[in-house]
Amino acid sequence: MPTVAFATLGCKVNQYDTQVMREAMRRAGYNIIEPEESADIYVVNTCTVTSMSDRKSRNLIRRFASLNPNATILVTGCYAERQPDKLKNLQNVAIVLSNKEKPFIDRFLSQFLNDSEASCSFDIDDNYPYITGFDGQTRAFVKIENGCDSFCTYCIVPYVRGSKIQSRPIASIINEAQALAQNGFREIVLTGIHLGAYGKENHEIGKLHDVIKAVHEIGGIKRIRLSSIEPMDVTDELISQIAILPKCAHHFHISLQSGSNRILRLMRRGYSAIEFEEIIYKIRTVMPDVGISTDIMVGFPGESELDFMETYKLIEKVKFCRLHVFRYSPR
């Protein structure tokens, strides 16, 4: 069978998606190798959250085409969702898949390799495939939700990942986490496109704190973490659950973006600087040892020196353990 190498850019959800594709290809008999090697097929799982992400994706594709001029390159991910035609014109790119088509990568490749056609059609459903491991990692990501309906003014995510919230049934999450535990993974990171929106579309399915409690009961799992969460999704129930359950890491990554109320309104973030501070205060009251990290955007259109200084002062006041600072990028 041909050799396949994977390269992933962007978020934890993309890393999870790559593992889904990797396991599908392995089951189909393909030999998985490292991206630094000369592969017959390269799969590039792209990101498009900033223009720099787009550029990195294109550079990776060009590097693989140079590494093996005879290789077949398959491109997927959010950049592929946004500009498929542009990517199809790059050297050696034979197939461009949407995010929804990722779990069926082996079928698309099989049809292409047999018929030399990049256009394939299959019935795509919304079922989550299970993963049983996480190559090259000591912790495993478990995707529990898809979609974001917030539509922050700077963000392209709802357009490339979908604006429909789709929460994975807790039974499905448990089955996957159990399989990972049986294969030696002791730490689970719960992730999603809008993680805190879990259960929003169906109140009977439960909430994020219900998922945490269910995973916590799995034997073999020693540590549970959350990926990025929005401020207004940090509920009292969530704080209490993480504080009480011994397997839960006392860490939150809560996206602030700006400390200026004016800029937050322009961003349509749905909270004020004071409300953000109050959330942090509630967390630290219950968990004094908690680590809190955040995202900060600079250069949002119309941001003044005063707006910037309000963000700077809030950062000093909150005392985050880690900052991810990035420039605004038109999307």
Looking at the fold, whether 304 and 263 belong to one and the same domain comes out as: yes
pLDDT over threshold 90, residue 64: yes
For residues 270 and 265, give the distance between their C-alpha atoms in angstroms, rounded to a whole number.
7
pLDDT over threshold 60, residue 67: yes
Are 300 and 250 spatial neighbours (Cβ–Cβ below 8 Å)? no
Provide the residue type at 64 as one letter.
F
The predicted structure's pLDDT at residue 128: 60
- Domain span holding position 301: 250-331
The predicted structure's pLDDT at residue 331: 87
Are 122 and 97 spatial neighbours (Cβ–Cβ below 8 Å)? no
Q: What would the pLDDT profile of 261-278 be if each residue is shown by its tens digit? A: 999 999 999 999 999 999
Kindly give, in sequence order, each residue whose CB lies less than 8 Å from that of residue 288, ignoring residues fewer than 6 positions away.
Answer: none
Domain boundary among 249, 280, 297: 249
- Domain holding 211: CATH number? 3.30.750.210
Report how many domains make up the chain: 3
Residue 125 placed within a domain: no
H/E stretch holding 31: strand 31-33
| DSSP, res 43 | E
Nearest 5 degrees, angle CA 202-CA 147-CA 55?
A: 170
Are 212 and 224 spatial neighbours (Cβ–Cβ below 8 Å)? yes
Domain boundary among 115, 148, 173: 115
Domain boundary among 115, 150, 181: 115
- Domain holding 305: CATH number? 3.30.750.200
Q: 3-state DSSP call for residue 38?
A: coil
Beta bridge partners of 252: 292
Looking at the fold, whether 97 and 165 belong to one and the same domain comes out as: no
Q: Average pLDDT, stretch 298-319?
A: 98
Q: What would the pLDDT profile of 189-237 be if each residue is shown by its tens digit? A: 999 999 999 999 998 999 999 999 999 999 999 999 999 999 999 999 9
Kindly give, in sequence order, each residue whose CB lies less than 8 Å from that of residue 137, ignoring residues fewer than 6 positions away.
Answer: none
Which pairs with CB-CB distance under 8 Å and at least 24 residues apart come from 67-70?
A: 67/38, 68/38, 68/39, 68/40, 68/42
Looking at the fold, whether 156 and 227 belong to one and the same domain comes out as: yes
Q: What would the pLDDT profile of 95-136 be if each residue is shown by its tens digit? A: 999 999 999 999 999 998 887 554 445 454 555 668 999 999
For residues 95 and 84, give the distance between their C-alpha atoms in angstroms, rounded to a whole number.
9
| DSSP, res 110 | H
Residue 176 placed within a domain: yes
Looking at the fold, whether 286 and 316 belong to one and the same domain comes out as: yes
Looking at the fold, whether 86 and 180 belong to one and the same domain comes out as: no
Residue 173 placed within a domain: yes
Looking at the fold, whether 287 and 196 belong to one and the same domain comes out as: no
Looking at the fold, whether 139 and 244 belong to one and the same domain comes out as: yes
Residue 121 placed within a domain: no
- Domain holding 51: CATH number? 3.40.50.12160
pTM, two decimal places: 0.93
Looking at the fold, whether 244 and 270 belong to one and the same domain comes out as: no
Nearest to 9 by CA among 68, 79, 73, 71: 79
Question: How far from each other are the two terminal CA atoms of the chain, in whole angstroms?
Answer: 40
pLDDT over threshold 50, residue 175: yes
pLDDT over threshold 90, residue 157: yes
The predicted structure's pLDDT at residue 106: 94
Looking at the fold, whether 149 and 240 belong to one and the same domain comes out as: yes
What rounded mean pLDDT belongs to the chain? 95
Q: How far is CA 253 from the centre of its chain?
A: 13
The predicted structure's pLDDT at residue 118: 47
pLDDT over 90, % of the chain:
93
Looking at the fold, whether 161 and 75 belong to one and the same domain comes out as: no
Beta bridge partners of 229: 254
For residues 166 and 30, give the distance between their C-alpha atoms in angstroms, rounded to a whole number.
31
Q: Average pLDDT, stretch 236-240?
A: 98
